[in-house]
Amino acid sequence: MSDAVDFEALVRQALTPVEPPADLSARVEATLQNLTELAQDELVAWDARDKRDPRIWVRTTAAIAVGGAAGTALVVLRARRRGSRRRARGVHPVGVASRALRDVSLEARKLLP
């Protein structure tokens, strides 16, 4: 039985943690920012076009969905980054919640034109 496979070693090797790249957060943020800006540009261009053409509705609906999702993810990502610095100090949960809401509203105001 020299061909026996050590399944425990294989599972341990498969489940070893993998560190994400150092610039992953910056790349994700840049991608979300780019998607949000592209969706905004599409929606601004839609105002100038004929709104009765149903072929344009699909692009507009996609721009709203993609822009909304990317914008929301960007707001959450930036607010979490701000909150993680404060959480390290250890404060009262009500204070953390109020600051989190304030951070989310501040980041959302930055994205909206």
Count of domains forming the chain: 1
For the chain, which residues score pLDDT lower than 50?
1-2
What is each CA distance from 54 to 34, 45, 60, 85, in whole angstroms? 26, 15, 10, 48
Specify if 72 maps to a domain.
yes
Q: Is residue 4 part of a domain?
A: no
pLDDT of 31: 92
Tokens of 102: 């304030």
Instruction: From residue 105, give the alpha-carbon distance in Å to each of 53, 61, 69, 100.
Output: 35, 24, 16, 9
Structure-token match 């304030």, residue found: 102
Q: What is the pLDDT of residue 76?
A: 83
Alpha-carbon distances, residue 100 vs 59, 71, 91, 103 (angstroms)? 33, 17, 12, 5
CA distance 20 to 55: 41
Q: Is residue 94 part of a domain?
A: yes
| Residues 44, 50: Cα–Cα separation, whole Å | 13
Supply the pLDDT for residue 34: 93
Question: 29 lies in a domain?
Answer: yes
**111 neighbors 77 (Cβ within 8 angstroms):** no
Residue 9 maps to a domain: no
* pLDDT digit string, tens, across residues 94-108: 676 777 777 777 777
Domain with 43, as residue range(s), is 24-111
Q: Is 13 domain-assigned?
A: no
- What was the pLDDT predicted at 3? 58
Does residue 16 fall inside a structural domain? no
pLDDT value of residue 108: 73
Residue 105 within any structural domain of the chain: yes
